[in-house]
Amino acid sequence: MGVQLSRSSGHLLAVFALHNLEEVAHLPHDLARHAELLDRLGVPTGWRRRDLMAVATTLLTSMAFAGLREADRASSRRRDGMAVAIAAALGGNAVTHGVRAAADRAYNGGLGTSPVMLLAAVRVAGQARRRGQLSGSQVWNIAIAANAAVPPLVLVALAAGDAIVGVTRSRAGRS
């Protein structure tokens, strides 16, 4: 009972994992640059930590893996729509890094891997679209909805990461 993942989905997930490592490694610089914006958005200062971001990105990568694995397991319009949604969200993430770099006129964590992640996402979405016989308008609607869902999903992953890290810290303190 091995993991069944298409080559293109595997590439996308591998690049996403590297992308997350790049983001986590550069996190302190990005947080310093955008502290005021994060304050205005109401992101708790306790959530602005590398350990928490590492756990949150691991959770998000795991969710993407589970969704793409399910989509690759057997084709159906629903599963192929899910693959398009995941690819669109990751592609949107990649584009966001480019836009941020242009606006800030500076590198941001994740920018280096973004072009490869965008290409891998387009490939996965295109294959899923053809396999599931999804129309162009369906793909656009899925992509818009997926990218609208990203900010709340990131906040949920950060909250879950905070709970995981908090439990780990409290257990370590008792030892």
Q: How confident is the model at residue 72 (pLDDT cuts 50, 70, 90)?
A: confident
In contact, 20 and 13? CB cutoff 8 Å: no
pLDDT for residue 174: 58
Average pLDDT value over all residues in the chain: 91
For the chain, the domains span: 7-40+48-165
- pLDDT tens across 2-17, in order? 657 889 999 999 999 9
C-alpha dihedral sign at 110, 114, 116, 118: positive
Count the Cβ atoms, other than its own, within 10 Å of residue 89. Answer: 24
Q: How confident is the model at residue 78 (pLDDT cuts 50, 70, 90)?
A: confident
- pLDDT tens across 89-148, in order? 999 999 999 999 999 999 999 999 999 999 999 999 999 998 878 999 999 999 999 999
- pLDDT tens across 35-44, in order? 999 999 888 8
130-166 burial, b at 16+ Cβ within 10 Å, e below that, comes to ebbebeeebbeebbeebbeebeeebbebbeebbebbe
pLDDT for residue 13: 96
